[in-house]
Amino acid sequence: MTRPALLSLDDALPQLLAQAYALATSQSVSTFEADGRVLAHDVTSALQVPPQDNSSMDGYALRTADCAHAGAVLRVTQRIPAGTHGTQLNGGEAARIFTGAPIPPGADAVVMQEDCEALEGDHVKVNKAVPAGQWIRRSGEDVTRGATVLNKGTRLTPAELGLAASIGLAQLQVSARPRVALFSTGDELVMPGDVAPDAMPAGAIYNSNRFFLRAMLQRLGCEVTDLGIVPDKREATLAALRDAAQYHDLILTSGGVSVGEEDHIKPAVESLGALNLWQLAIKPGKPFAFGKVNREAGGNACHFMGLPGNPVSSFVTFLLLVRPFVLALQGATQTDIARTEMTAHFDWPRADKRREFLRVKRNAQGGLDLFPNQSSGVLTSAVWGDGVVDNPAGQTIAKGDTVRFISFAEWLA
């Protein structure tokens, strides 16, 4: 019997995203609290930014007709600090002005104070010829009234919060947080803190996946229900999935999704809903599963994603598949991650049938070094590394080759 070819990542991802219809609900949050959330509507501006022409220097506002040549002497008739506004400026006059203050009517340029000399009796000598428009920030040069400044589906970062505030928005309408139920499977798992390292029973290991999966979900704007460790038992697995499906948008599990007798996740999902895809041609991360678990009340089923138990497999499949999925649930337009072309400073002589994600680190020479142990159980590789090389199936790498690099900093943001 020939085994069917594994599904490629490029085939799997669109199938997954096609299921990730955006959650219907949105909510209004304080602009202060909106970092990382996804905009549910376009944001348009009700005003110009800056609101009026204003000075970008501390100095003097003047009429350039008076200052065609260096050495003009003007009478200082007004003083305009930021937060106030001036009055009509006439020929032969200057206004003392400060950064951010509106340009008074009649003035058409600013000269910085370093280019002037204050004279006796409220006069100023301008030591340079002044071109029209100098040091004036124009009304609307940042934002014009009526313009769409932020688009629906944008994942907000600090710069966007500042821009929203600059047009007067104290609240923003964002997509609801996906409700994600997280659980780990594996009878060998022990929680840090429950058993001291020197008292660990034979065969036990600490649950590491739970920590990074929860943190990554939270970074991506999810509301996480952490259901802890579910025993490797058919009934317990069924009960955990059935319960979690009722009040969550997504169930995310780690472990128990391979083909061993102790792997109960796959048959449980099949009996409670459907498994849409299972096993991908990627390394690490082959035993990835995607499907749904029906709800008692009917309606839309709860999405299900099962990650492999090996920590690096779990970590990488989360970033490749869960990350875009939960962003799509929030209506984010940008769900993919940039690959940058970089130079390998290592050899990878054995091609694999599967597309590989090799843990690497940028070096001072602008190239990439490889972590020596690429085993899917070695989480140190993800800590030492600052990203992965996305290496096509069947591809060897020789020192000096151009490879595609994904940065953890961007991927985890």
Q: Which is nearer to ligand AMP, 218 or 258 (CB)?
A: 258
Q: C-beta of 209: minimal distance to Mg ion in Å?
A: 11
CA distance 403 to 371: 15
56's contact among Mg ion, ligand AMP, none, with CB below 5 to 8 A by partner kind, is: none
Q: Which of 310, 317, 330, 381 binds ligand AMP (CB under 6 A)?
A: 310
Going from the C-alpha of 274 to that of each of 114, 185, 245, 361, the distances in angstroms are 74, 19, 13, 39
258's contact among ligand AMP, Mg ion, none, with CB below 5 to 8 A by partner kind, is: ligand AMP
User: What residues from 155 to 194 belong to the interface with Mg ion (CB under 5 A)?
Assistant: 186
CA distance 89 to 55: 15
- Residue 304: closest CA among 283, 325, 320: 325
Residues 6 or more apart in contact with residue 341 via CB below 8 angstroms: 402, 403, 404, 405
C-beta neighbour count of 70 within 10 angstroms = 12
Q: Which is nearer to ligand AMP, 40 or 189 (CB)?
A: 189
CA distance 317 to 357: 10
Q: Which is nearer to Mg ion, 59 or 186 (CB)?
A: 186
Stretch that binds ligand AMP, among 24-32, 238-246, 293-301, 304-312 (CB under 6 A): 304-312
Cβ atoms of 370 and 348 within 8 Å: the answer is: yes
3-state secondary structure (DSSP) of residue 64: helix
User: What residues from 155 to 214 belong to the interface with ligand AMP (CB under 6 A)?
Assistant: 184, 186, 188-189, 205, 207-210
Q: Report CA dihedral (24, 29, 33, 39) to the nearest 10 degrees.
A: 50
308's contact among Mg ion, ligand AMP, none, with CB below 5 to 8 A by partner kind, is: ligand AMP
Residue 50 interacting with ligand AMP (CB under 6 A) = no
Between 244 and 283, how does the x/- string for binding to ligand AMP read (CB under 6 A)? ----------xxxxx-------------------------
User: What residues from 209 to 238 belong to the interface with ligand AMP (CB under 6 A)?
Assistant: 209-210
CA distance 174 to 41: 7
Cβ atoms of 30 and 75 within 8 Å: the answer is: no
| Residue closest to ligand AMP when measured from CB atoms | 309
Residue 308 interacting with ligand AMP (CB under 6 A) = yes
Cβ atoms of 301 and 370 within 8 Å: the answer is: no
Between 358 and 387, how does the x/- string for binding to ligand AMP read (CB under 6 A)? ------------------------------
Q: C-beta of 22: minimal distance to ligand AMP in Å?
A: 30
Residues binding Mg ion (CB under 5 A): 186, 255-256, 309
Kindly list the residues in this chain that would bind ligand AMP in the complex (CB under 6 A).
184, 186, 188-189, 205, 207-210, 254-258, 308-311
